[in-house]
Amino acid sequence: MKARLITPLQKNLLASIASIVILSSALLLFWLGHNIKQQPPEKIIIREVALVTPPPPPPPPVQQAMVETPITIQIQGSGASMQILTVEQNITLTKPDIPPMVVSQTKWQQLEIDWDAFALDQLDDLPTLLTPLKIDFPKSLSRQGVKRVLVKLEVMIDEQGQLTLINIVSNPYQELQGEIQRLIRSSRFSAPKKDNQPVRARFVWPIEIKS
């Protein structure tokens, strides 16, 4: 077997490859060392912590020693004494004098209403009713079959035409009492006149009420 000889060209090629490998390794090491130096060192932060010392505990309360002082009371004499009072039972009471009292009786004065007025035939004209004549017919009378009621009222008209009830001459049903009072309060006439002067007139007013 014959040994293989290396030509000069091959030697130069191998030397070039080895040089490239060595140069590449050296560049790699230089780059790694440069990067390691550029990395900033790791910072360690040290903070100062101030510890607050707690206040000392309060001193224990001082207990004062209680000293019992004996008290001595000296009492002179033979002790307390009670005095007995004697009350006589023969007591005479005198009756006081009552002053005379005069009782006066109250005298009630009877009020009298002046009903003096002119009759209708004495007036210049007959008074005219100025308000509507409206009376609500009671339902109780309607249920009894009553459909028509005639009442007669004695009334007086004053100088202003205000109506006043003197007497209920005729009212066959008590159920109409409230409606009659309401009618008197709400009715108004023209002022009666005598010789062209306002006067009072008194007459009987017949009213027919229908259901």
Q: Where are the domains of the chain?
A: 120-210
Query: pLDDT band at residue 73, thresholds of 50, 70 and 90?
Result: very low
DSSP reduced 3-state for 190: coil
The token duo for 42 is 């790791």
**CA–CA dist 77, 164 (Å, integer):** 100
pLDDT band at 22 (very low <50, low <70, confident <90, very high): confident
CATH 3.30.2420.10 fits 120-210, yes or no: yes
Distant-in-sequence, close-in-space partners of 169: CB < 8 Å, separation ≥ 6: 152, 153, 154, 204
Q: Is the pLDDT of residue 36 over 90?
A: no
Residue 133: predicted pLDDT: 85
Task: Name the percent of the chain lying above pLDDT 70.
Answer: 60
Helix (H, G, I), strand (E, B) or coil at 19: helix
Average pLDDT for the chain: 77
Q: Please name the residue ranges forming H helices in the chain.
A: 8-38, 139-143, 177-186
Beta partners for residue 175, in sequence order: none
Tally of CB atoms within 10 A around 203? 20
Q: What pLDDT, on a 0 to 100 scale, did the predictor assign at position 63? A: 57
Per the DSSP assignment, residues forming a β-bridge with 167 are 154
- Per-residue pLDDT of 92-141, as tens digits, reads 666 666 666 665 565 555 556 667 889 999 999 999 999 998 888 899 99
pLDDT at 32: 78
Q: Which of 43-52, 87-96, 200-209 has the highest mean pLDDT?
A: 200-209
Per-residue pLDDT band at 43 (split at 50, 70, 90): low
What confidence score (pLDDT) does residue 198 get?
A: 95
pLDDT value of position 186:
92
Yes or no: say if 175 and 140 are a contact pair by the CB < 8 Å rule.
Answer: yes
CB distance 142 to 211 below 8 Å: yes
In the chain, the percentage of residues whose pLDDT exceeds 90 is: 37
Q: In which band, very low, low, confident or very high, does the pLDDT at 24 lie, cut at 50, 70 and 90?
A: confident
The helix (run of H) or strand (run of E) holding residue 153 is: strand 148-157
- Confidence (pLDDT) at 29: 82
User: Of 111, 106, 117, 86, which Cα lies nearest the Cα of 199?
Assistant: 117
Between CA 61 and CA 83 the distance in angstroms is 55
Mean pLDDT of 141-156: 92
